[in-house]
Copies of this chain bind each other. A is one copy, B any other.
Amino acid sequence: MFGREVYFKCENFQKVGAFKARGALNALLNLPSSSGDVVTHSSGNHGAALAWAARKLGKTAYVICPTNASRFKRDAVERYGGILVDCGPAISQRETALQSFQHERDATFVPPYDSADIVAGQGTATLELLEDVPQATEVWVPIGGGGLASGAVVASNGHCDVVGCEPELARDAHDSLAEGRRLPALPPTSIADGLLSSLGQLNFEILHRARVPIRLVSEDEIRAATILIWQTLKIVIEPSSAVPVAAALKEDRSTKGAIAIILSGGNIQPNLS
């Protein structure tokens, strides 16, 4: 199907069902020992990851989460012991809600992606991948805030190329890297609900310096690739994970060498008709 050898790093099988567990745990392990509870904003996987990591370390995580976020992802935050704080759907509304929350409570903010500790944690996915598949010439990753992609750049350390993949409807990373300056997120309309954030500043710098190319895919391509993975690999991935799959499927077939795709998460509830 791909015209090349393809390996998958199945972060849908990771704790909390997404690579976000890596960065959240690393960030908490790097907080001063005196620090108490933590707070973040997230439409889902980072929120659940922070709740999971916080509980492991005896802390409470508050998760500012849009009320229209996936029910599945909101439930996961609570299942791991996190406390949901509602906010509106726009990224700006999350940030306002965070500021209000921090005025009222003493909790350390753990950003979802724009932080060296988060990037380093997410990079362990690529470290493990390249241990298992040293012959990979490219690592393909979805880009939302850019933590996974930046971690891939740091972890691969020039030994292979990183290819970022984004929905057309959330192409701020593509356009930011093309223009050489960070652009705001587009309205949150893509089915790939993990990729709606704007690129973090640190992540922008890492990706820009490494000249990471960004491939764009349509909503139809994302849906088709999601279902293709369900059908052929018999594993559950969420649409965000299917973005690099969709992109690799339409890549020039003359390119050679094994590639690795990071399937970023599996937090979706498919329907049984």
Docked Cα-Cα span, A223 to B269, in Å, equals 13
Contacts of A268 in B (CB 8 A): 272
Does A2 count as interface, using CB distance less than 8 angstroms? no
The residue from B72, B235, B273 contacting A236, defined by CB atoms under 8 A apart: B235
Within the complex, what minimum Cβ distance (angstroms) separates A239 from chain B?
7
Within the complex, what minimum Cβ distance (angstroms) separates A73 from chain B?
12
Within the complex, what minimum Cβ distance (angstroms) separates A245 from chain B?
14
Does A266 count as interface, using CB distance less than 8 angstroms? yes
Cross-chain contact B234 with A269 (CB below 8 angstroms) = no
Q: Which has the most chain B C-beta neighbours within 10 Å: A235, A272, A273?
A: A272
Docked Cα-Cα span, A205 to B54, in Å, equals 55
Q: Which has the most chain B C-beta neighbours within 10 Å: A12, A72, A231?
A: A231
Docked Cα-Cα span, A238 to B230, in Å, equals 12
Cross-chain contact B236 with A269 (CB below 8 angstroms) = no
Number of interface residues of A (CB under 8 A): 22
Return the chain B residue nearest A191 by Cβ: B272
Within the complex, what minimum Cβ distance (angstroms) separates A76 from chain B?
10
Docked Cα-Cα span, A227 to B271, in Å, equals 8
| Contact residues, A176-219 vs B (CB, 8 A) | 191
Docked Cα-Cα span, A270 to B271, in Å, equals 6
Contacts of A234 in B (CB 8 A): 12-13, 17, 235-237, 266
Contacts of A270 in B (CB 8 A): 230, 236, 270-272
Contacts of A236 in B (CB 8 A): 230-231, 234-236, 270
Contacts of A223 in B (CB 8 A): 272
Within the complex, what minimum Cβ distance (angstroms) separates A8 from chain B?
12
Return the chain B residue nearest A237 by Cβ: B234
Q: Which has the most chain B C-beta neighbours within 10 Å: A223, A226, A230?
A: A230
| Contact residues, A1-59 vs B (CB, 8 A) | 12-13, 17
Within the complex, what minimum Cβ distance (angstroms) separates A78 from chain B?
15
Within the complex, what minimum Cβ distance (angstroms) separates A109 from chain B?
30
Docked Cα-Cα span, A230 to B269, in Å, equals 8
* Contacts A234-B236, A235-B235 supplied; 18 other A-B pairs, CB < 8 Å: A12-B234, A13-B234, A17-B234, A191-B272, A223-B272, A226-B272, A227-B272, A230-B269, A231-B236, A231-B269, A234-B235, A234-B237, A234-B266, A235-B236, A236-B236, A239-B272, A270-B272, A271-B273
